Amino acid sequence: MTALALKSYIAVVSTRFRTLLQYRIAAIAGIVTQVFWGLMKLMVFSAFYEVAQNQPPLSFESIVAYVWLGQCLFALFPYNVDPDMRAMFNSGSVAYDMLRPLSLYAYWFSRTLAFRTAPTVLRLVPGLFFAFVVLRLVGLDEWVMPLPPSFVAAFSFFISILLTVALSASIMMLVSISMFWLIDSRGMVNLMAGVVWVLGGMIIPLPLFPDWVQPFLSWQPFRGLCDIPFRIYSGDIAGFEIVGELVFQLAWVAILVLAGVWLMRRAQVKLTVQGG
């Protein structure tokens, strides 16, 4: 793709991003819910950790970071579909997007990127403020979000989160493309949300799952959404292990994008042959 072509897509991302920044009330409502849930989770985990007989595979400090990162970055994960996109399928106006001189996959990918990141940015500031500052002020020091242990951890976390954004968008694209074949996307989206929360590690951090599921958990793509970046942040994944995990994320992004492009091509053939 030439730089000139890329500019078009960047314009799509930035325009959509700016539009979505208008939805401030939804973001405030969202972060209030997420903070509440974060506190509930921490209550449950601290109860478990107090009665634990063996040393759990994640330190409590790591758990705190894991929970707050999950709550603050909640909107980043592929648990819902852009309502605009759904409306487009319902009204059958998908075909009209093909009137633009853009690759349909790249066009939608750009919009999805904006849809995932804009609400996240809105929620991030109040969320982090609560996790870092408010909790300290009220004296709940154990539950205060810790800082990354090193500069390397912080920097690798940043790279990893960028890959999470790409991974999330590429998963989302598969859900969107499935709408070409399904009349209603709601079933697919509900299924998706369940899968993402459990396999990503949002419900229970993945290292706390029983040993016998670990081989499966370590290879599935959803781990790249929460588990990898969050544990890089807390230093639980460190040293050369980080490189391996970043490659793991990148590989899944590549696989899912290729799958999406291939499916999109088939969908477009179906659309152009069968009509919108």
Partner 1 sequence: MYQIHVQGLTKSYRIAERQPGMVGAVKSLFHRTYRDVDALRGIDFDISRGEMVGYIGPNGAGKSTTIKILAGILVPTGGRCVVNGVVPWQSRISYVAQIGVVFGQRTQLWWDLPVVESFELLREIYKVPNNRFKTSLAELVELLDLSPLLDTPVRQLSLGQRVKCDIASALLHEPQILFLDEPTIGLDAVTKASVRGFIKEINRNRDVTVLLTTHDLGDIEALCRRVIVINDGICLSDSSIDELRNQYVHEKHVVIEFGNSPCLESIHQDDVLKSEGTRITFLCTSDISDFVAQMTSRYEIKDITIETPPIERVVTELYESSK
State how far the Cα of 164 lies from the Cα of 223, in Å rounded to an integer.
10
CB of residue 118 vs partner 1: minimum separation in angstroms?
A: 13
DSSP string, 84-141: HHHHHHHHT-GGGGGGSSS-HHHHHHHHHHHHHHHHHHHHHHHHHHIIIIIHHHTT-G
- Locate 224 and state its tokens: 């790249």
Cβ closest to partner 1, residue 12 vs residue 166: 12
CB of residue 121 vs partner 1: minimum separation in angstroms?
A: 18
CB of residue 272 vs partner 1: minimum separation in angstroms?
A: 5
Cβ closest to partner 1, residue 111 vs residue 223: 111
Q: Let me know: does 120 contact 71? Beta carbons within 8 Å.
A: no
Cβ closest to partner 1, residue 63 vs residue 118: 118
**Residues interacting with partner 1, by CB under 8 A?**
4, 7-8, 10-12, 15, 19, 22, 84, 91, 93, 95-96, 98-103, 271-276
Residue 201 falls in which region: left (phi positive, over 0), alpha (psi -120 to 50) or beta? left
Cβ closest to partner 1, residue 10 vs residue 40: 10
Cβ closest to partner 1, residue 84 vs residue 241: 84
CB of residue 101 vs partner 1: minimum separation in angstroms?
A: 4
Cβ closest to partner 1, residue 138 vs residue 182: 182
CB of residue 13 vs partner 1: minimum separation in angstroms?
A: 11
CB of residue 11 vs partner 1: minimum separation in angstroms?
A: 3
- Locate 226 and state its tokens: 């929460």
State how far the Cα of 125 lies from the Cα of 120, in Å rounded to an integer.
9
